[in-house]
């Protein structure tokens, strides 16, 4: 079973994708991480994407869909973290999954708006792996240093407060409609987790969900 992680910036999607990767062998496909690698390497895609990302706007669908082409080729189950981001991307994903005879369940990270800015402005990231920490909620053993590699952590430029405001507005306008898209009353493909809970409790809900699902454990 493939999983689509749906939720606003800072809901904890990346944090939990790493947990399920480790626990069940899922492959996390984070469109944000892939784009940030392109930006860091200065590829043509990175050069085009950079301005959109630094403003907190969505990168155009055409670039994203080209980038995602091939990501579902391997047979391993995946967690789509940050894709789809609007109805056009969701429709394209459904077509792709149907062609490959694969299915996916969306998991909505339910969270109150007022914690998100604090989660994002306090976030520290290990650029090589995408591992994230939080200065208060989930600190590394040594401040600003990755626990696993000992390499320095960085703060994402789009986690500045002003940019976060725009990312949240973009989420409301373009991504939140996907909740209704996946929660079709006749054929719901949406599960929910309480993402306001502490990190370990969110992980527990997700692990229980995967284990209890008929096609669950990857």
Asked if residue 203 binds ligand AP5 (CB under 6 A), the reply is no
Residue 5, H or E segment: strand 2-6
Asked if residue 15 binds ligand AP5 (CB under 6 A), the reply is yes
Asked if residue 198 binds ligand AP5 (CB under 6 A), the reply is yes
Q: What is the number of alpha carbons within 13 Å of residue 77 lying toward its C-beta?
A: 20
Asked if residue 10 binds ligand AP5 (CB under 6 A), the reply is yes
Report residue 130 as tokens: 């995408």
Q: Contacts with ligand AP5 in 137-176 (CB under 6 A)? A: 137-138, 158, 167
Please select the residue that binds ligand AP5; options are 26, 29, 79, 82, rule is CB under 6 A.
82
Asked if residue 133 binds ligand AP5 (CB under 6 A), the reply is yes
Report residue 194 as tokens: 């309480």
Considering the complex, state which of residue 25 and residue 157 has its C-beta at the smaller distance from ligand AP5: 157
DSSP state of 122: T
Please select the residue that binds ligand AP5; options are 19, 64, 78, 178, rule is CB under 6 A.
64
**Strands 123-125 vs 132-134: parallel, antiparallel or unpaired:** antiparallel
The strand pairing partners of 106, in sequence order, are 4, 190
The sheet with strand 190-194 has its strands ordered as 27-30, 78-81, 2-6, 104-110, 190-194
Smallest distance, Å, CB 13 to ligand AP5?
Answer: 4
As annotated, the active-site residues are 13, 85, 123, 156, 167
Nearest to 164 by CA among 199, 88, 108, 113: 113
Nearest-CB residue to ligand AP5? 32
Smallest distance, Å, CB 149 to ligand AP5?
Answer: 17
CA angle 166, 107, 198 (to 5 degrees): 75
Q: How far apart are CA 139 and CA 124, in angstroms?
A: 9
Q: List contacts with ligand AP5 (CB under 6 A).
A: 7, 9-15, 31-32, 35, 52-53, 56-59, 64, 82-83, 85, 89, 119-120, 122-123, 132-134, 137-138, 158, 167, 195, 197-199, 202
């Amino acid at each position: 079973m493939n999983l689509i992680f749906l939720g606003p910036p800072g809901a904890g999607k990346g944090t939990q994708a790493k947990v399920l990767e480790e626990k069940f062998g899922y492959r996390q496909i984070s469109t944000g991480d892939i784009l940030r690698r392109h930006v860091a390497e200065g590829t043509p895609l990175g050069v085009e994407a950079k301005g959109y990302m630094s403003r907190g706007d969505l990168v155009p669908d055409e670039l994203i869909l080209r980038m995602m082409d091939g990501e579902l080729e391997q047979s391993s189950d995946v967690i789509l973290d940050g894709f789809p981001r609007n109805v056009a991307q969701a429709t394209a994903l459904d077509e792709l999954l149907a062609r490959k005879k694969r299915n996916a369940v969306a998991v909505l990270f339910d969270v109150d708006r007022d914690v998100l800015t604090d989660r994002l402005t306090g976030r520290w990231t290990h650029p090589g792996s995408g591992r994230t920490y939080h200065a208060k909620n989930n600190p590394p053993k040594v401040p600003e240093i990755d626990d696993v590699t000992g390499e320095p952590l960085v703060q994402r430029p789009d986690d500045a407060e002003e940019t976060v405001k725009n990312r949240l507005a973009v989420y409301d306008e373009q991504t939140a409609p996907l909740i209704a898209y996946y929660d079709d009353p006749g054929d719901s493909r949406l599960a929910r987790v309480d993402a306001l809970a502490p990190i370990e409790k969110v992980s527990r809900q997700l692990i229980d969900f995967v284990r209890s699902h008929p096609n669950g454990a990857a």
